[in-house]
Structure 1
Amino acid sequence: MLLPASAAPEARLLLLGRGLRAFTDGFVAILLPVYLLALGLGKWEVGLISSATLLGSALATLAVGHWGHRFTQRRLLLAAAGLMTATGLLLAGLGGMDGIGAFWPLLIVAFVGTMNPSSGDVSVFLPLEHARLAASAQGEARTFLFARYTFVGACCAALGSLATAFPEVLTTAGVSQLDALRLMFVAYGLAGVAIFFLYRALPDSSGQDQAGPPAALGPSRGVVIKLAALFSVDAFAGGLIVNTLLALWLFERFELSLAAAGQFFFWAGLLSAASQLAAPWVARHIGLINTMVFTHIPSSVCLILAAFAESLPTALALLFVRSALSQMDVPTRSAFVMAVVTPQERAAAASFTAVPRSLAAAASPAIGGALFDAGWLATPLVACGLLKIAYDLMLWRTFRRSEAASREGKHDQGAL
């Protein structure tokens, strides 16, 4: 599906920026627990710091939704890139402190910064990029554009997971493990610099200006509240087993090596990327809501079964099947939200549906970490799967009648 010629350059810049962020997120999510454990912190502290990252992202996204319309989206994107640079450099610098002394500074940096411990994008970049992408295409073409956006992110995150082997290469060359891990966070910060200069090429205004300037939520408030409430259930469940904690589970349950974990997340990421690219074609035949629900439920069943797997090959096979299905709802969900609100409300709607996701997910990594610390390794996976199935059923029951509007990609409050 081709984009309008005027929108293509801007879309390419946004896709490049998303890819670079995803690449760094791919290795940070896996290396974070290793880094924190190397500093002398425990599993519970790993969960707390993961929670802090999600809570800080939620509040930043909320601020963008409430006050962001007062500034150009380009300026906000540049500020987010600067924050990403500071996050990486500060995390690397704090590695020189002892574990007890580093915990509170690390917690603050995690809360304020842009670090992402999950498989999806939970940063303040998300609503800003979504709003500009939504203005680049209409109807079915918008769904394909969001699929391309998530596909690029998933592929680059998969490649980033392979970079987790780099610290081991440095270690064999004589660099200490801690210093090798710190260098990876320096690389994360330098990626923020690259994104800053990339987004400087964006125009101050987008095609969205033709439909009016961005505005706070108005006519679409009721729909957004319903979606936000449901998305929060899904996000809380996902937070119980974010990539950082899934890596920790593999380390603890099967004593998986760091290099092997990187290879697993690479192939899992490629499966997720392929499924996201296929999502628009599936949605064309069965609709956005049905695509979101009927691919999500089997993936949750696989996660529950993986929790009780006796061998590593069985667990990995189930997790691979989960990866091939669990992310098909990402582009369809984004397209659905953009389709059922007015163009002027898109940035606010993206923020206010993303915020509850981040807020709900903020508490669950700490709970998951505490359960791991108590030795209940299967509980977070089972709870995640059951809660996600409940979310899917509630979503289908609430919005299945709006499928005509979502297929056409039109703003149709009456259908909801």
Structure 2
Amino acid sequence: MPQPVLSRVADFLGITSLNSIGRDAYIIIALRSLRMFTAGIPSLILALFFASLKFPDSRIGVFMTLTLLGDVMLSLLLTLVADKLGRRRILFMGSVMMAGSGVIFAMSESFWILLIAAVFGIISVTGGDCGPFRAVEESILSGLTDEKTRSDVLSWYITATTMAGAIGAEFAGRTVQALEKSSGNTTSAFHALFWAYAAFGVLGSILCLGLSTRCEAAGEKRAEMVERGRGGGNGEEEEVLLEAITPSTTDGFEESGERIARQQQPPPPPRKQSYFSQISKPTRSIMFKLWMLLGIDSLADGMTPYSLMNYYVDQKFHLSKATLGDITSASQFLCAVSAVFAGPLSKYIGLINTMVFTHLPSSIASAFIPLPSSVGWTVALMLFRAALNSMDQAPRTAFIAAVVKPDERTGVMGITSMVRTLAMSAGPSITGLLSGNGTFWVAFLATGICRITYDLGLWVLFVNVKVDKDVGRQADADSVDDEAWNGLLSDTESEESDEGNRSWDFERGQRGV
């Protein structure tokens, strides 16, 4: 019987893959969509809010820089310990901190109090998600998916959240305008928006409560072991497993006694390691190259972000602010729509090919934006660049998830986010140096060169890297020794086991689970 048309469309667009993951995937996507929606509030009004409080421009610049650096350091710390503290706990803490910072911004007008609240509340000064939570969420989604569904689910994660960011920026702008007209007090309007920001943080914390234990590193490891036939089945399957890992003996009694003695001995204290050393050498050998390339790409993005492109177009063609806003909204909308097709495309041509073949035309378009003398062709190039600009994000995350061990994913993705944020923060300063005396076009040319370097570097260094279901998972599963596995089975199944299953079978020299 031929597959229905709607079912084939759902398979192609990745909707089937998203549905197969279940509630956790929808909650994660909703959580970041909510966060991206609210990120438009501080990014749009923060500088205006400080100006209404009569803060000098120098203080506003210092605030932006210190907030960004504080976010980077806090993000790195939280992502490196997220698997130990609990991923759900980190996400819940993030929503609570977001709500707390919103309350402080709504009530306080002290520069230093606001700065502390901005750092610990991960206030976005750029409109993007600069905190640790995207890395944690991508690690969760990578653990919930496999090589067949991962790129589809991550594509919808990018699409939904990008669309939410575009809507949030539009909402914030119109709300500020309406509040200013109704109250006549600009500062009061800004305070009201921060109360809304706090409310969204409370809603996010409620969403976090719906996440299951599958989102944790331990739950992910158990699921992978079950998939590999190492547990989680019925009692008969577990008996076969235990028999296979138990040495055969003639009588079994002496061996059983020795095994009891070994199990009763306290384990040696774990050797203290730095967080970075917990990332294996094979992972580091791959990620050092990727981090270098991502730094170049992020530097390029920081040199010509939407705000500076709008400034360039305004200076060249003197368009209205409403028209510039429409161009930005259209660009973000195209980013969101095109990201849907990144997952299906990566199934046919591969992750690296998808990243390079979609991002390279966008990179070339970036270099040519200053060339047209008409506003129509300039805007067309900007929209073409935006349409392909985000199609590498989901394949990139899927590639990282596939080539690193599961227990390294959160930390690696956190370091990746830190590298990208730091490189991006240097971009505007470089643009300022390059664009003096009417030479703004040099910044666009430098952006294109950096982005093309990133694309060609990806192709040369990673096109031959094989990615399949065993990469990043096989070594992790094999590293679990028998005694650790027995302990895991005992812990996870103890509540379901009856008294008879806890008896010793001395003839076979093993313990029944």
The TM-score with structure 1 as length reference comes to: 0.84
8 A contact 2:356–2:459 mirrored in 1: yes
Residues 1:76 and 2:138 are matched in the alignment: no
Listed one character per residue, the Cα deviations across residues 360-414 of structure 1 (whole Å, up to 9, x for unaligned) are 2233344446777987644544433321221111121111111x42xx3541699
Report the AA paired with residue 171 of structure 1: E
* Counterpart in the other structure of 1:278: 341
Structure 1 residues 412 and 19: alpha-carbon distance in aligned structure 2, compared to 1, 3 A threshold: closer
Residues 1:192 and 2:225 are matched in the alignment: no
Report the AA paired with residue 60 of structure 1: L
Deviation of 1:272 after TM superposition, in Å, equals 0.4
8 A contact 1:30–1:247 mirrored in 2: no
Find the aligned partners of 2:365 and 2:457 in 1 and give their Cα distance. Answer: 20
Report the AA paired with residue 78 of structure 2: V
Given the alignment, which residue of 12, 22, 40 partners 1:8?
22
Deviation of 1:245 after TM superposition, in Å, equals 4.3
Deviation of 1:35 after TM superposition, in Å, equals 4.4
Given the alignment, which residue of 149, 156, 174 partners 1:141?
149
Listed one character per residue, the Cα deviations across residues 216-267 of structure 1 (whole Å, up to 9, x for unaligned) are 4225232222222221221222122334544555565555555444433322
* Counterpart in the other structure of 2:138: 130
Residues 1:61 and 2:75 are matched in the alignment: yes
Structure 1 residues 49 and 299: alpha-carbon distance in aligned structure 2, compared to 1, 3 A threshold: farther
Structure 1 residues 254 and 181: alpha-carbon distance in aligned structure 2, compared to 1, 3 A threshold: farther
8 A contact 1:114–1:123 mirrored in 2: yes
8 A contact 2:83–2:216 mirrored in 1: no
Deviation larger for 288-297 or 248-257: 248-257
Q: Secondary structure of 2:419's match?
A: helix
8 A contact 1:236–1:364 mirrored in 2: yes
Deviation larger for 158-167 or 375-384: 375-384
8 A contact 1:165–1:262 mirrored in 2: no
Given the alignment, which residue of 31, 39, 43 partners 1:17?
31
* Counterpart in the other structure of 1:296: 359
* Counterpart in the other structure of 1:332: 395
Deviation of 1:327 after TM superposition, in Å, equals 0.5
* Counterpart in the other structure of 2:327: 264
* Counterpart in the other structure of 1:342: 405
Given the alignment, which residue of 20, 25, 29 partners 2:43?
29
User: Highest CA radius of gyration, 1 or 2?
Assistant: 2
Q: Secondary structure of 2:449's match?
A: helix
Deviation of 1:337 after TM superposition, in Å, equals 0.5
Deviation of 1:332 after TM superposition, in Å, equals 0.7
Task: Give the number of the structure whose residues are more often helix, by fraction.
Answer: 1
Find the aligned partners of 2:195 and 2:177 in 1 and give their Cα distance. Answer: 16
Given the alignment, which residue of 77, 84, 87 partners 2:101?
87
* Counterpart in the other structure of 1:217: 279
Deviation larger for 162-171 or 329-338: 162-171
Deviation larger for 229-238 or 5-14: 5-14
Kindly report the root-mean-square deviation, in angstroms, between the aligned alpha carbons of the 2 structures: 3.4
8 A contact 1:43–1:370 mirrored in 2: no
8 A contact 1:44–1:369 mirrored in 2: no
Deviation of 1:210 after TM superposition, in Å, equals 4.8
The TM-score with structure 2 as length reference comes to: 0.69
8 A contact 1:47–1:370 mirrored in 2: no
Report the AA paired with residue 76 of structure 2: L
Deviation larger for 392-401 or 259-268: 259-268
Deviation of 1:31 after TM superposition, in Å, equals 3.9
Identity, % of aligned positions: 28
Listed one character per residue, the Cα deviations across residues 287-313 of structure 1 (whole Å, up to 9, x for unaligned) are 211211222122123233324554544
Q: Secondary structure of 2:363's match?
A: helix
Deviation larger for 231-240 or 7-16: 231-240
Deviation of 1:112 after TM superposition, in Å, equals 4.0
Find the aligned partners of 1:257 and 1:40 in 2 and give their Cα distance. Answer: 27
| Structure 2 residue ranges without an equivalent (≥5) | 1-13, 225-274, 475-513
Report the AA paired with residue 299 of structure 1: S
* Counterpart in the other structure of 2:266: none
8 A contact 2:83–2:217 mirrored in 1: no
8 A contact 1:47–1:366 mirrored in 2: no
